[in-house]
Structures are given as C-alpha cells and as structure tokens.
Amino acid sequence: MGSSWKGSISFGLIYIPINLFTATHEETIGFNMLHKKCHTRIRYKKVCEFCDEEVKSGEIVKGFNYENDKYVIFENDDFEKIKSTKDKSINIQQFVDIKEIDPVFYGKAYYIVPNGGERAFELLKQALIETNKVGIAKVVLGTKETLVALRISHDNMILNKLFFINEINSVQTPYVEIVVNPQEVDLAKRLIKQMTSPFNPDIYHDEYQEKLKLAIEQKIQGKEIVVPKERDENNIVNLMDALKESITNVGQRV
C-alpha cells in the first residue's frame, strides 16, 4: 500500500521525516447503475456547456467564482506554491490528556511510519506512552489545513484528523423534565454491568454484507431471495418489566 502523504513531524527543535498510511477502509459490495429497460450500464460524462463537448480529466482545472461567470484559475502547482515549509510539516503545538478529546472530534485515521529519524520517532512514541498524552498539531493536507491528533495505539503511532470546532454540528434538544425512578436506574446499572466485557473487535462482523452476498448468489442461480423467519420481539410497554426481562435474558446467555 502506497503512502498517502509524505512530510515530517516537528516538536520543539526535533524533526522527524514520516509517511502516512491510511489506517482503515470500508468493505462494501459495489452495484452498477443500469437502465431498467435494457440493463445497460449508465455512464456519467463530464460535459462543457459552452463547447457542448465531453471533457477529459486532463482538461479540467479548478476555478474560484469571485463574480458572476468570472473565475480565477488554480493549477495544482498554485496550491503547492502558497504552502510554506511549516504547512508541509505536522507541527505539534500542545499535548493534552486523551480523555479531554470528545470522540465526536475524531475523523479519518492514518498510521505514522518514520522515514528516517527513527531514534527521534521512538523517543516521541515512548514519551507519549509514558505520559499518556496526545499531540495536537496542524498541517495542510491537500488543499485544506487540518487539525490532527497524534496518539499511540497498540504500539503504533496514529494520526487522527480532527474536526475544527466550527465543523461540529449542534442539535437543539427540547428540554423535557423527566423524573427517573431510582429502582429503574438500579436495574439499568445492573443490566449494563451484566453486559460489560472487554472489547473484542474480532467478534463483530458485517452480517448484512454476508446476507447480501448470499442474495447475489441466489439471484445468479435464478432463485428467489429467501427471507429467514425472525423471532417475534416481545412488545413490553412497561419500562420496569422490560429491564427485568432484559436482565433475565442476559443472565441466561452468560
């Protein structure tokens, strides 16, 4: 897998050349868009309205619309020209406790791999482990300045993109005064305790993808999709009864 970005980490007077590698990917089953009448693939073409012709990727440039029908053109080199050396480096500006960062701020993750300066890299990694801190930095990735967090996970240094505060949406939740029954709270806590165990990602997998693959095979063989019969859910209206039965069901599975 090729690196997604090449640059450096700097904190204080320490400079570490690094590469970033994408840490995650999504596994999905791809479907093509077809014409319902003849099952021919639908093609999307990039067309210039003025020239009335299809435009190839190499003929497309980026333009900023500053007035009606007036654009300033930016080539890829123009974006690079305005980047300073500082913009091309992950400059750690502060260190914080990891618990201070709400998970809602975390975005895409990358593995950080040293490309020289391995001793300085190991020094930073060990210091982050022993202090249980996260480095907060800014860097220009592509054409956008990005807030990032550098943290350690399973002996790997991870870079997480962070959303800026103005990128976090707020939701106005209507205030409703609800008095919670202390007995219900105790039962809820008991249910949570019964369902608590170490996180093991190996036990989770995409069951819908598996059913989708099976459905594809059935379609290929000319069969109708078989819908498995599901167990009827108990419709318990009373919250206390629902908590009690949940605790019983969890207890039977343990």
pLDDT of residue 149: 97
Residues of the chain with pLDDT under 50: none
Element (H, E) at 148: strand 144-153
DSSP 41: B
pLDDT at position 132: 93
Predicted structure pTM score: 0.79
> Which element (helix H / strand E) includes 149?
strand 144-153
Long-range contacts of 234-237 (CB under 8 A, 24+ apart): none
Cα distance between residue 129 and residue 93, in whole Å: 18
Q: Contacts by 1-10 with C-beta closer than 8 Å and gap 24+?
A: 3/113, 4/110, 5/110, 5/141, 6/115, 7/88, 7/89, 7/90, 7/139, 8/88, 8/89, 8/90, 9/89, 9/90, 9/92, 9/112, 9/121, 9/124, 9/137, 9/150, 10/89, 10/90, 10/91, 10/92
Q: For domain 5-27+81-167, give the fold.
A: Ku70; Chain: A; Domain 2 (2.40.290)
Domain coordinates in residue numbering, the chain? 5-27+81-167, 182-253
138-172 pLDDT, tens digit per residue, is 998 877 889 999 999 999 999 999 999 999 998 88
pLDDT tens-digit profile of 69-96? 899 999 888 887 887 767 778 999 999 9
Q: The tokens 């108990």 sit on which residue?
A: 234
Amino acid 226: pLDDT:
79
pLDDT value at residue 234: 65
pLDDT of 151 reads 96
